[in-house]
Structure 1
């Protein structure tokens, strides 16, 4: 019997030792995996008039957009800018972010076009699209078009073959032509209120005649330095997504220029300190041209030139008569409710939406003053930010649960209030809803805060009252493990004593 007990204890100790040396099956779960992301491509309408855009949109969920490959070039189309919309949802304290990045394409002419299958690499993940067939219709409204039938007049070309007949010159002289290019930091205003959005664009302007003389040089290395100098420690920043550097046509001082957008952002001043942007430097590759061009040769020699912008300052004005209001913008308030008839004891989903232009991230929750007989739960918060055409706007949505315990009329105008500083009229204003609830039924007593949520789920309605609410120590498993180790130690000691006595006999 003693030998059987010893063998049993030895097997148990050996199994415990092997279990301690072998990592548990759930050990890999302790390693934090890379954040999961969901990326997809969405194509716009396949049939549209020539004066409208075709779009390719990248939708990203569950991860921040850190790096992505360029959108494809489509034959017969020209890229015409990007726009991005960020949607943030906060439910029960958990935030989820969704990004929609849209590339616009402008058709050169009407007709049928094929978008071949393509793919984008988003944060290391390859996202594929099967492509589509596009049908571009004529512009609906007739418009005067320039005379496209006239053939372009070709410049006269001389025949200069003396260098080829007499031999190539030993040396070539190069000259540096004058150019009209310049670098500029362009704010959309020179004076702003505290909290008012200030759009800042970093642009490089190039005359059309100088296109063959200049080229970007190590721009990816120079851009972080430029952005560091643009940062403002006294302002909240909402930067635009990096886009392909594609020029657009503008006029400066009555002269045509090609404008390259290098960076674009919006600052919201947090105090009355001015926004100061120093002179920035950008090194470009500039070609010198041959004094005596040779047919068939490049006739250019690369060099470098540094362009500097002019320092700019935006004066920030403090808000009049400090009142504690931190919401500054151009907003309007919308409201909605999930039903039209209201009875006591029922829960209603009520939403307040603020949309417009301003710093939505800093927009606080509306204040609530509850009358007797009305209960309020929540809110869940959802935020959508859109960056497009030099503007940052969007909407912020608060979702509440309302429960009326007593019949009567409840004017929500007296319940919710959101004080703001209206930039359109340069004055303080209070956004209030207009909905009035006419509640019928008999008075009911107040229920726990969770009742408004579990009323629609019969499972929780049955399980919660019957659940054991006795508090238990959090370290109960650890204590049980210590007791088991103590029992094993005592049994091991008895085993050793039994072996020792058997050996003496």
Structure 2
């Protein structure tokens, strides 16, 4: 009898220790990364410090520093999706450089939830802005995003709610960015409290629904607050909902007046606030065009432009701008007797700005040279889309020319040792991200297995 009790105690102790170990392992798999988006920028661009986390309930970061010779400006939320479908969420703090030169970013500490991470410091270079070059679309979109177009705001009062949009008419596929918020004047003679907010916001969101569309939610799990100046008056804005919609069919989208009840703490009664109804015209694309709609640019990175037959290059295309990136895909390049193409990875980063979503979608390829010659890559890599500014079809094309010298290859296959090496290295998703994602899944699986074992033991003892 004594040995049976001792055995049970030992079993319970072992299970408890295993549970603690797996919990720690799962905690280890939840990681925070701090990084600079770029270490070399132009004076008309922004220095961007990013905090990325694989926490499923990531809600923000605290501790972004002031940096000498830079103006601390706006923040945006990030969502990075790897080629493996792993999602990392984060915050990006933007800084405007005040002069050119070489600068030291000192060490600082960032807090995410209860966890802290230290940035060890980096050097950055700010160069003079070039003249007479192609307009940097990303910089242009970033500046535009800071000036919010609050279509549907209505008449300003000390306290009011509004459903606002970034536009009152769009083409099919163009972004409609909506947000619903409470506005309270800075010195308003009233004390308010939010009332039964979860239920109210759920009802409101159900009324902001565009059936035939793709939606990118901003994921406001808690109330987002900021200050905004409207007609020279400062308001505190409590943002409850924000989302981007990309309609797939033309129609007139009518959104009814939305009601939010708040508690007047002085009078101890509920105050009913209503937004104005909002109508947005979604226009068909000209001549039944079916292409992606947006404002886009192509960026290219290649390891070498001059190679020998039998050699391969690593090539990356970044499509940047504003569009429905879920629909954005490059036509696959066709291999021939001269060049052979292998798609290796696709990644996507969405920056959720105040009034629109700016994205970068990266496509990576390995190119094997089989015969000598000059090969304009525009013949293989291009993207046709409907330009919402010019209101016509535009085509982004590669501007690079690959020069190949040497004797023609008698064969071409994945058995080529150099090509195989390139492909094995092509997935450059940060190793930390892949490792922590695997660790998290392993820890979660083991915890689930442990739970089933404990449940089985409990039920067995209960039957006895």
Report if aligned partners of 2:78, 2:350 keep a CA contact under 8 Å in 1: yes
Contact 1:41 1:127 in 2 (8 A): no
Contact 2:35–2:51 (CA under 8 A) maintained in structure 1: no
CA RMSD for the aligned pairs? 3.8
Q: Is the 8 A contact 1:201 1:261 kept in 2?
A: yes
Question: For residues 240-276 of structure 1, what are the alpha-carbon distances to aligned partners after superposition, in whole Å with 9 as ceiling and x for unaligned?
Answer: 2426532413225x65544332222211111113333
1:89 to 2:82 alignment: yes
1:272 aligns with 2:247: no
- 1:404 is matched with which residue: 354, 369, 384? 369
Q: Distance in 2 between matches of 1:420 and 1:374?
A: 26
Residue number in structure 1 paired with 2:282: 316
Q: SS of the residue aligned with 2:224?
A: coil
2:326 counterpart SS class: helix
The aligned residue for residue 305 of structure 2 is 340
How many Å apart are 1:238 and its aligned residue?
A: 1.4
Tell me the equivalent position of 1:196: 174
With over 3 angstroms needed to count, the CA separation of the structure-2 counterparts of 1:304 and 1:81, relative to structure 1, is farther
CA offsets per residue over residues 97-145 of structure 1, 9 Å max, x none?
Answer: 222224689xxxxxxxxx9988543xxxx4135799xxxxxxxxxxxxx
CA distance in 2, matches of 1:234, 1:309: 24
Partner of 1:436: 401
Give me the TM-score of the superposition, normalised by structure 2.
Answer: 0.64
Q: In the TM superposition, what are the counterparts of 1:36-435 in structure 2 within 5 Å?
A: 37-40=29-32, 42=34, 58-61=51-54, 65-66=56-57, 68=59, 71=62, 82-90=75-83, 94-102=84-92, 120-121=112-113, 126-129=114-117, 180-210=158-188, 212-242=190-220, 244-252=223-231, 256-287=234-265, 300-325=266-291, 327-435=292-400
TM-score by structure 1 length? Answer: 0.59
Aligned length: 341
- The higher relative CO (CA closer than 8 Å, separation ≥ 6) is in 2
Q: Deviations over 1:317-373 (max 9, x none)?
A: 111112432x11100112121013211011111111111111112101234244532
How many angstroms apart in 2 are the aligned matches of 1:212 and 1:102? 35
Question: What's the CA shift for 1:85?
Answer: 1.7
Instruction: Extract structure 1 runs of 4+ deviating beyond 6 A.
Output: 33-36, 53-56, 115-118
Residues 385 and 392 in structure 1, CA contact (< 8 A), matched pair in contact too: yes
SS at match of 1:263: strand
Aligned to 1:149: none
Provide structure 1 residue ranges, at least 5 long, that are not aligned to the other structure: 1-27, 45-52, 106-114, 133-178, 288-299, 460-505
Contact 1:355 1:395 in 2 (8 A): yes
Judging changes above 3 Å, is the alpha-carbon distance between structure 1 residues 351 and 68 closer, same or farther for their aligned structure 2 residues? closer
For the pair shown, which has the larger CA radius of gyration, 1 or 2? Answer: 1
SS in 2 for 1:456: helix
Q: Shift of residue 437 of structure 1?
A: 1.5
* C-alpha distance 131-321 of structure 1, shift in aligned 2 (>3 A): closer
